[in-house]
Amino acid sequence: MTERSITHGTFSLERTYDVPRERVFAAFATFEGKSAWFGGGDGYTLVERTFDFREGGTERATGRWENGTVSQFDARYFDIVPGERIVYAYEMRIDGTKISVSLATIEFKAAGSGTSLMLTETGAFLDGYDDAGSREHGTNFLMDRMGASLTRALA
């Protein structure tokens, strides 16, 4: 029998992007915008993608890594204020096993001609899954990818 356990973790990230907040918000709020950066990068193949960005809407991203591991992200959007904030909850699965459930909030604020983004996430890591900071590291990776996608869009 599996030993049941929960470990909690919270982190916050702040980024400033040199584009208007409407563009940064759109990177989360549109299929095209999010598809430009949301994924595993090298060694990752997207298998399934759904995206319904609205309060009560859901999102799924399932991908396979080169080593055969399958990761699945399933989210539900709870609060959306265009250009200002997004609040959603999501669960992560690895090879079909639920490893975590998280609440994420993203705030967008004008910063001169650019945008300040503040992301805070609280996760419950389940049944022995030892996150050891990998969720924060992965989210930093994704925010860097998003920034690069915004820069590419300017070129």
Domains of the chain with bracketed CATH = 6-154 (3.30.530.20)
CA distance 6 to 83: 34
38-73 pLDDT, tens digit each = 987 788 899 999 999 999 999 999 999 999 999 999
Q: Name 6's bridge partners.
A: 126
CA distance 29 to 32: 9
134-143 pLDDT, tens digit each = 889 989 999 9
CA distance 87 to 106: 7
Q: What is the largest CA-CA distance in the chain?
A: 56
Single-letter amino acid, residue 151: T
Retrieve residue 151's tokens. 């820069």
DSSP symbols for 95-123? TTEEEEEEEEEEEEEEETTEEEEEEEEEE
62-114 pLDDT, tens digit each = 999 999 999 999 999 999 999 999 999 999 999 999 999 999 999 999 999 99
Task: Say if residues 114 and 56 touch (Cβ distance below 8 Å).
Answer: no
Mean pLDDT calculated for residue range 19-36: 96
Task: Say if residues 82 and 29 touch (Cβ distance below 8 Å).
Answer: yes
Looking at residue 128, the DSSP 8-state letter turns out to be T
The mean-pLDDT minimum among 13-27, 50-64, 85-99, 116-130 falls in: 116-130
Round the CA-based radius of gyration of the chain to a whole number and report it. Answer: 16
